Each structure stands twice: as structure tokens, then as C-alpha cells.
Structure 1
């Protein structure tokens, strides 16, 4: 299927069961894009499914469609990239990271509360909406996992499922990320605006996180996240 001809990508996680767009996408399809009965739309389920559909009922509240054909694992990423990152004091900055990392290519985001993390909570629903928007904008078939914010210790326990774990931090043992042999699935940890504490760095190393550098420049949290995701997609 040629994605260059798609005017808009719709998201329906239960597509084969519902065969219907949600209220937001239905309104956009019918009122904004002026879609009519018989018009073709492209829909993804967010887990690699790529569906070409024909509108059967252009209801602006619940636009129904028939599935014409579909493709599994559409443009599956060569590498599954997961990022552990601390929310920034300015919410716009972490939202920028979410949007751009999804457009570039990311499989999951863990939000972490460290000693130097300022926000005590996050707006998870808003973050998910931003991720969905980024997925649609970049015509991707994969919706990344977006986690609720957890403590640093809880994150370390969850990280045990990854065989390759990295932490972006400059020390004497750090390796340039571009010179690192990468697995098909990996996790990279990005620090808060005030950096990790000595205790957190020690715990990360004890949990098999290898230190890597993203270059010589000091980067903001959200910039470091975008740079890391960009590099890991290109290598």
C-alpha cells in the first residue's frame, strides 16, 4: 500500500470488532475531510495493522466502515526503542519529546520520578493523545506504550525485562552511543533537569545499565531524548 496517497490516518484500536471510528475521528472524517459513503480511508489499530476501509455510514458521531484489505506488521521498526525519561518542569517540553519521538520512531516511554524530578504527577491521558496525534501525523502503524509515572526504584524493577539497558551520562566508563552494538530491543534512560543523584547512578549500574554519551554538548532533558531516539533509529 502506498502511504504517500493517504490524506489522513485514523486510529481504531478495536477496528475488527467495532468497524467504527471514535467520535473525534468521526467528526474529523465527515465534517472536516467531507468523507462520504463509499470513500476510502486508511485506519491503523496501533499494533502494526494497516487497514484500507470504505465508509458505509458517514455519521459524524460514529462513522462506520467496511474493511477492504489489510496488512500486518506494516513497516515494522527494525529496532524496538524504549526510553525512560523524567517529566520536565515545563510540560510543553516533555510533550515536545513525546510528539517528536513518536514521529521518529519509539516503542515505549517510561515516565520516572527521581530525586530531582520536579512534577509530582503527569497528565497521562493528554500524553497519550499527543502520542496518537504523532502516530497519525507520521503515518505509523504502531502506538507506543505510554506508562504512568513510577518511582526510580519501581522503574529499575520493570527494566529487568530488557537485555540491553543504557543510561545517558558522561563518566569515565561511558561509551559513545554511535559506537555501541545494539540489540533488536533496548532501553535508554534519560536524566532529569537536575541530573541523576549519585545514589541513582549507582543503582542504575548495579541493575546493568551501561553509561553512554550522546555527544559533547550538554542537552536539556527533552532534547537528549529526541537525540537519543534519532540516533538509535539511524544506527
Structure 2
């Protein structure tokens, strides 16, 4: 994969004020830490229903480096990833329906920032992150209430229309322009939705464009979320690989099998 960018922009991304902040800089470390690969203790104790995702099962269902193409490297700190370009208050004036549509777009930004785009899991959950240059891929699997999961997928489907283009302003008055379009997702699982979210703003005073490809898939009452991208542009091929491999692994876990490494 060939990557080019101005040297000053790359340098700014790697500074302390970089695009991605550490877990210690976040106000919600309790939430992100809780989602680290252990999942819910209650779910781990639930053995009566064989198709109920346990903490161990969620771990086993996570994809590995061999499941995605290119030169992705697994990292240990994915629970602390937060993208500062996703922080901002949505401008209500951008919307005809004002408060209702603005609230949906705010929920989108907040969900991408806090890694809970499908809502809070009802049981076990696990996540794993990968890096390739300045791009990052976050893979999550979790148990949800079935109705809530269907509602979340239906909500995602409305966003390319309701949030096709809007602005958000951070605490320092910096504006971001956000665009949302629908993307295709491999025909895997029971239901699915794909989005591409593009955010234009400044990083250390230099213009930057963040592109995130998002895929959400329901497999029974469990959900998979893949978010990948960065300043290099889209990573849709890697997202497709992650979905295809991840659904197979999750189905194996649900069937009581051990996925191949």
C-alpha cells in the first residue's frame, strides 16, 4: 500500500496533540477499560444457554492479523483509542428537522468516539485493534438484546439521509465538516449496515481529513462492529475481510466450536 503525505502533517499526527488520544487522557477510562477483552462477569457465569456469548467466547471470536490483508499489526492499547476529530457539538442549524436529526448525528459522533455505536452490550464483549501506518482498525464483538440490536442497525441505516452533511464545533471553536454515506457490507450474518464517515478539520493547525469505514453485523443476538481508517483514506477492503472472517469465527463460537487461529 503506497502512502504519501506532507511531512509536517505526519509530524503533527505523531505529537502529543495527535489525532488519537491515550486512555489516560480520556474521561471515560472506566467504560473503555471494562470493554477490554474480559467481557461481562455475569455473562461468563451464564452456561445454561449454549448460544449465549461468554467472555471466553467473545475472545475466541475476535479476528487475528491473518484474517485481514496488508500489513496490519495487532496492538495492546485499542481500548484507549479515541479520535479527537470526532469530538464536537453538532450544529442544529444544519438540519430541517433541527433537534431530532441533530441528535442522531450527535449520537453517531459520540458512538464512534466511545466505541459503542451499537449501544451498550447486554452481556460479554471484547475488542481488538490493529495498526498499519497511520490507519487503525478496531474490531468488536458483543452480546446484545436482540430487539435493541435490530433497532441500532435500523438507526444506522437512516444516517446517510439524516446526517449526509453537517458541521460540528469542538470546545475551542474549531469546526469540523462531516459527511456520511452508505457503503456495502459482505452478505454475512443475519443483518448488516455499512457507513463511510468523513471528517474534515484541523490537526495542529494543518488541514486534515479523517475517513472511517464502518460495518455492523448481527449474528443471532450478537453483534460485530468494525471501524477502520485514518488520514490515509478508506480501508474498505480490510473491513470486508474482517467481516467475512469475523462472522465465521463468531458462528463457530455460537456452535460450541473453537475457531481456527
Under TM normalisation by the shorter chain, which class is it?
under 0.3
Name the one with the larger strand percent: 2
TM-score by length of 2: 0.23
From the CA coordinates, give the structure whose radius of gyration is larger.
1
